[in-house]
Amino acid sequence: MSGFFSWAMVGLGLGVVMVRRRSMAVGLITLQSLAIVALALREAREAQDLIAAAGIAARAVVLAIVFLLLISRTREARAVLPSLAPLRRGGLAVVLALGLIWLLSGSGSGPCADDHGRAAISLIAFGLVTSASHRATVFQILGIVLVENGLALVVLSMPGTSWLIELGVAFDLTLLGLVAGVFHERIFVEFGGGDTRVLRSLRD
Amino acid sequence: MILGVLAAGSLLIAFGGGLSAARRTFAVGLVVQAVGAAVLAVVGFWALAEGSAHGSDFTGSPTPHLGLDPLSAIFLGTLGLVAAPALVFSLRYLRNDGPGRATGALTAAFQLAMVLLLCARDPFTFLLAWESMTLLPATVILVARRADPTARRTVFTYLAITHLGGAGTWVAILLLADAGGLDDPTVIESGSGLQVAIALAALIGTGTKAGLMPLHAWLPRAHPIAPAPVSALMSGVMIKIALYGLIRIVVDRLGILPVWFGILVLAVGALSAVGGVLHALFQHELKRLLALHSIENVGIIVLGLGACLILRSRGAQTPAALALGAALLHTVNHAVFKSLLFLGAGAFEKVTGTLELDRMGGLLRRLPWTAGAFLVGSMAIAGLPPLNGFASEWLTLQSLLRVVLRGDTADGAAGALGLAALAATAALALLCFAKVVGLVLLGPSRTPEKTGPAGHPAGPQGSGEDFATRASTVFLALTCAVLGLMPGLLLAPAAAVAPWPSERPEGLGLDLPGAGNLPAPGLGLVLFALTALLLLLRGRRTAAPAPTWACGQVNEPALLWTGSGFTGPARVALRAVLRPQREVTVKSTGGVLQEVTCHLHVPQLIDERVYRPVARRSGTVAACARRVQSGSLSVYVMYLIGAVVVLLGAARAGWLG
């Protein structure tokens, strides 16, 4: 996998952190997932690898459909603005990514030994920052998908990983997306918007 | 063969549980479950008599392994022996409605969890079954009393205490598995720190579940609020299976423990026995009183276990095996008479609509079979010959005597204190059940004849004494008599459970090697002959009813005996220990006395002095900790990020090894 490809993935991930529109973020995530599928197909050596790639592709498409359907069914009367400005979110994400890479690169081997690994760690950091800095419920789910894309990127660099595990993770994530979607709709119906801040009233 | 029959019994229980969940097949389901339980009883006692292990041996591997050995078998037999009549009793006790059917189905799951625990031979299955055994009765109580906020609060207390204390079981099992003690008991060095740590963790973990003082706070709250058959299973079997865990770890898997640990076990047993019976004595609610007696009887079992551990440490192998046999025999005996008493309490509640001792009375005339069986159970729990409670308490007494005779200064003194505790317990239990029998079974009825109790249907004739109730209680009463007259039936195989060589007692009575003997069948025959002679002499004559003399006053219900009145002298004598609280309210109008109300309360001292302050302080700490629980999803993700960064930082600094 080329350095350019890795950093393109990082760019897409950073885009998800910084954009405000939900549909835009879904588009970027789907594009990123499909890029991972393309990478998986290119590096496939056995039929099992192809099955795993098909699983990731199915997950990307199903989740994209689910998210777009959700967005169309739950139009916000007013935009749910994130807690931080786009540049601050981006800055925070980059700082966290660099921090994690530094923490993980102590031995000179391990996941941060090459661009591929560093890109994967960056995606995980971006996913966490997306969930933490956005208030819109859909972004919370997208943050998790971003983390999973980072993990998928790590897995692709590890030879001998069971295709069953990859399929299982893809299935789990699809299921999680569906359940989270149901919760999002329920929150929207109960509170009239998909803002996680309203959930604080449930604390007591 | 044995494992095949065991699987068949378990399948019958599972199938019966499924049938109980449906309206049309509810009763059939309970019957099928009862048949399954009876099969388990047969398998258990058959495997105990055979004395050999079946299936897998214990292993530290996390993959599921199942098996059965004589120690599991005696508990399995007890489970079946209690569950079968309890399920027959349920036929008329449980309603065929939503909560009733759910209770029927959950009872099957509860039994299966206990079977799984007894057959578990690996740590994963054991702990899975252990947790299921905790959660399922909680679910039953919530289903049966879903509209009752007090019951929900009680379940919360039960789960909180058993989970907190139960952590000890996890620690013990996982340490044991890690050290290889599950595969080979000899690998853990005797007297080592690891051995002591495992033993202490097991005592706390299993002791909490068994209701040992001072970890008992959940038991008198949770057992009484369950439906009667489930109370019977909880008090009769579940807490015994917790003791199975303790015996399995400290006797079977840990080798010879230091003498001080045996003394500690003895002390805990003595505290539970005396504390349990003291609090039971001043109880006014029948099922709560029975629950407190469970603490007392668990204490007696643990006294036997403590004697076994001390004697084994001193190298007295045969007396140690007999002490273990005494503990196991009392386990079976208590399971039988306690489930009988709980079923009896359930039947009485059906008829009178109350469990308050001072509102019952005359039930021996109203329910002759059930109340008669209850009387037998009361005599057994009070340790009266020739019933089973007497046999196992006598054996425990003999074991404690051996501790005094063979021990050093410290363990000899502990044995003497244990003896004193057992003697006091027996006397107080007799006083307590004299009160129960007097108030509940004798005297005039204090409730209307055909009262429908809250939450339970009246019996078919309004009497509550249908065939299922009679059959189940009379069967258990007969079992009390058989086990009392022929305790040797169980004692010999129970003593042989000890994993060290020892001489086995012989005969149907209690013929102990190197000690005295108790010819229980002979005593029984003499008692039977004397009773028959008295009946013969009495002929057709009956006592002429006459009014009670009340110093010339008119006999009013207010002059009847009450529980407080009966135990008044004991309360005064034990005032310094029990700290009873008395509240007197005097109402007078225009200088003329109108009414005097006296409210007496004997507090649970451990609750008041230990648990309440701990709970108050925990609440304060929790209120501070709650500040970090902001309710914001973003903040929670930030916590997650913080935790990841801290862990990675620690790893980079080499602090995580």
pLDDT digits (tens, 9 = 90+) for B59-84: 988 788 999 999 999 999 999 999 99
Of the listed ranges A13-22, A183-192, B625-634, the one predicted with least confidence: B625-634
Q: Do B649 and A140 touch (CB under 8 A)?
A: no
In a domain, B478, yes or no: yes
DSSP secondary structure of B541-554: --PPP-PPP-TTS-
Q: Are B306 and B448 part of one and the same domain?
A: yes
CB-CB contact of B426 with B420 (8 Å): no
Are B506 and B628 in the same domain? no
How far apart are alpha carbons A154 and A127 in whole angstroms? 15
Identify which has the larger pLDDT, A4 or B517: A4
Q: Specify the pLDDT at position B540.
A: 81
Q: What's the pLDDT score for residue B464? A: 55
Q: What pLDDT, on the 0 to 100 scale, is given for residue B515?
A: 61
Q: Are B309 and B265 in contact (CB under 8 A)?
A: yes
Of A104, A143, A200, the CB nearest to B631: A200
The verdict on residue B323 lying in a domain is: yes
Two structure tokens written together for B592? 């003329």
Chain B CB contacts of A96 below 8 Å: 641, 645
> Between chains, do A132 and B641 touch, taking CB under 8 Å as contact?
yes
Selection from B299-313, B539-553, B616-630 with the highest mean pLDDT: B299-313
Arithmetic mean of pLDDT, A19-33: 92
The domain segmentation of chain A, as residue ranges, is: 3-202
Summarize pLDDT for A37-77 with one digit per residue, the tens: 888 888 777 787 788 888 889 989 999 999 999 889 888 87
- Residue B418: per-residue pLDDT: 92
Together in a domain, B304 and B423:
yes
Distance CA B204, CA A194 (A): 48
Average pLDDT in the B390-407 region?
Answer: 89
Inside any domain, residue B459 = yes
Residue B450 lies in a domain: yes
Assess if residue B476 is contained within a domain.
yes
Alpha carbon distance A57, A30 (integer Å) = 9
Burial B421-450 (b: 16+ CB within 10 A, else e): bbeebbebbbbbbebbbebbbebeebbeee
Average pLDDT of A13-25? 91
Give residue B603's pLDDT band: very low, low, confident or very high (50, 70, 90). Answer: confident
Residue of B nearest to A201 (CA): B631
Nearest to A199 among B633, B648, B651 (CB): B633
| The length of chain A, given as a count of residues | 204
Residue of A170, A148, A174, A163 lying closest to A52 (CA atoms) = A163
Mean pLDDT throughout B547-557?
76
pLDDT of res. B462 = 45
DSSP-assigned states of every residue in A52-67 = HHHHHHHHHHHHHHHH
Range of the domain at B348: 256-531
Residue from the list B634, B645, B648 with its beta carbon closest to the beta carbon of A133: B634
In a domain, B22, yes or no: no
Neighbours of B242 (CB within 10 A): 25
- The Cβ of residue B265 has, within 10 Å, a number of other Cβ atoms equal to 27
Does residue B55 have a pLDDT over 60?
yes
Q: How confident is the model at residue A5 (pLDDT cuts 50, 70, 90)?
A: confident
| ipTM field | 0.85
Q: Between residues A156 and B409, which one has the greater pLDDT?
A: B409
Distance from CA of A193 to the nearest CA of B (A): 16
Whether chain B has a CB inside 8 Å of the CB on A109: the answer is no
- Helix and strand element counts for chain A (H, E): 7, 0
Same domain, B516 and B618: no
State the pLDDT at residue B657.
Answer: 63
Number of separate domains in chain B: 2
pLDDT in the model for residue B478: 95
| Range with lowest mean pLDDT among B98-102, B166-170, B238-242, B597-601 | B597-601
Rounded to an integer, the average pLDDT of B43-62 is 89
In a domain, B454, yes or no: yes
Contact present, B276 and B424 (Cβ < 8 Å): no
What number of C-beta contacts closer than 8 Å exist between A and B?
46
Kindly state whether residue B568 falls inside one of the protein's structural domains: no
Q: Mean pLDDT of all residues in chain B?
A: 87
pLDDT of residue B61: 84
State whether B303 and B421 are in the same domain. Answer: yes
Which residue has better confidence, B555 or A103?
A103
pLDDT mean over A162-170: 75
Inter-chain contact A103–B649, Cβ cutoff 8 Å?
yes
Both B615 and B485 in a single domain? no
B-facing residues of A in 20-79 (CB < 8 A) are none
Do A138 and A184 contact (CB within 8 A), yes or no? Answer: yes
Boundary (domain end) residue, out of B486, B516, B531? B531
Q: Is the pLDDT of residue B406 over 60?
A: yes
Q: Does A80 touch chain B (CB under 8 A)?
A: no
Both B435 and B345 in one domain: the answer is yes
Contacts of A122 in chain B (CB under 8 A): none
Nearest to B73 by CA among B494, B389, B483, B475: B494
Q: Please report, rounded to a whole number, the percentage of residues in chain B having pLDDT higher than 90.
A: 44
Smallest CA–CA distance from B647 into chain A, residue: A103
At B258-310, the pLDDT tens digits run 999 999 999 999 999 999 999 898 888 899 999 999 999 999 999 999 999 99
Cross-strand bridge partners of residue A136: A195
Q: Most A CBs within 10 Å: which of B640, B641, B648, B655, as the mutation test of the A interface?
A: B641
Q: Do A103 and B640 touch (CB under 8 A)?
A: no
Give residue B452's pLDDT.
46
pLDDT at B453: 45
Stretch B607-630: mean pLDDT: 86
Q: What is the mean pLDDT of residues B530-539?
A: 90
Q: Looking at the predicted structure, is the pLDDT value of residue B458 above 60?
A: no
Whole-prediction pTM value? 0.79
Given CB atoms, is A140 within the 8 Å cutoff of chain B? yes
Do B305 and B453 belong together in one domain?
yes
Query: For chain B, what percent of residues have pLDDT higher than 70?
Result: 96
Decide which of B490, B506, B531 is a domain's last residue.
B531
Distance CA B356, CA B430 (A): 20
Q: How far is B153 from chain A (nearest CA, A)?
A: 18
pLDDT at B636: 86
Which two structure tokens, joined as six digits, stand for B460? Answer: 């078919």
Which residue, of B494, B514, B531, is where some domain finishes? B531
Smallest CA–CA distance, residue B629 to chain A, in Å, is: 8
Are both B389 and B502 inside the same structural domain? Answer: yes
Distance of alpha carbon B393 from alpha carbon B414, whole angstroms: 18
- CA proximity to B522, closest of B533, B511, B512, B513: B511
